[in-house]
Amino acid sequence: MAKLNQIIAVEKGVKSRAQRELADVLRVLQKPALLSGISRVYRAKDEEGETLPPESTKVQVKSEDALRDVARSLTRLFDVVATKDWANGEARADIVVDGQTILARVPVTYLLFLEKQLTDLNALIEKLPVLDAAEAWSYDESQDVWRTDPVETSRTKKVPRAHVLYEATDKHPAQVETFTEDVIVGTWTKVAFSGALPARRVNELRDRVDRLQAAVRYAREEANAAEVDDRQAGDAVFAYLFA
């Protein structure tokens, strides 16, 4: 009695061999000369006529023989795939993470599906936006987003000023220098909001996916180690097809 992982291991080789042998049969059947034969016997018109030896060509390939070769090649493949597919429906294992059973008696086909999906989820998590570490963030329950503490900044306005260099006299007008001065006219209060995630949350999700992936791989290996009954499907198929 074999194990499911052993059947899976030999399936590719059996399939390649069957395809190669089937291609060989097809190639031979496409050569009409190999399927043709002839027999010619010469008889002179009279006794004094020339005598020629008979000619003959034997049939080298028979279609029925080719069908038997095809059946023999494919029967092993049909049996291997049947054994694997029947076993896949029976092979099951639990997915356990840190002693907690996430799913019980999971079919190996679903384990393969889940493994692929977790790989895609892991790629998604790797691309999750993370809150800017340069800011201090807190969760705003009312808006369901992250927010920073308020930061105040001043708004200024340039106001023209005049500076008297020399006072006016009876002989000279006053000399005045003009300039502008930045004067605070108000205050901005800024609060930043974000829908990104804290780095610790992303790390936690990444860790959970990693652990579940490991558990699924372990369960798959355990399910594939199940012993399987050999299935004989090929003989029944070809007994009907080529009867």
Mean pLDDT within 94-118: 93
Strand duo 145-148 + 137-140: pairing: antiparallel
Residue 148 amino acid letter: T
**122 close to 209: Cβ distance less than 8 angstroms:** yes
Q: Whole-angstrom Cα distance, residue 116 to residue 124?
A: 13
pTM here is: 0.65
Per-residue pLDDT for 132 more than 90?
A: yes
Q: Residue ranges per domain, the chain?
A: 1-91+232-243, 150-190
What confidence score (pLDDT) does residue 130 get? 95
* Least reliable range by pLDDT among 62-76, 158-172, 202-216: 158-172
What confidence score (pLDDT) does residue 1 get? 64
What confidence score (pLDDT) does residue 193 get? 94
Of 114, 110, 83, whose CA–CA distance to 5 is shortest? Answer: 83
**Residue 146 carries which DSSP code?**
E
Note the pLDDT tens digit of each residue in 177-192.
Answer: 888 888 888 899 999 9
Mean pLDDT within 151-178: 83
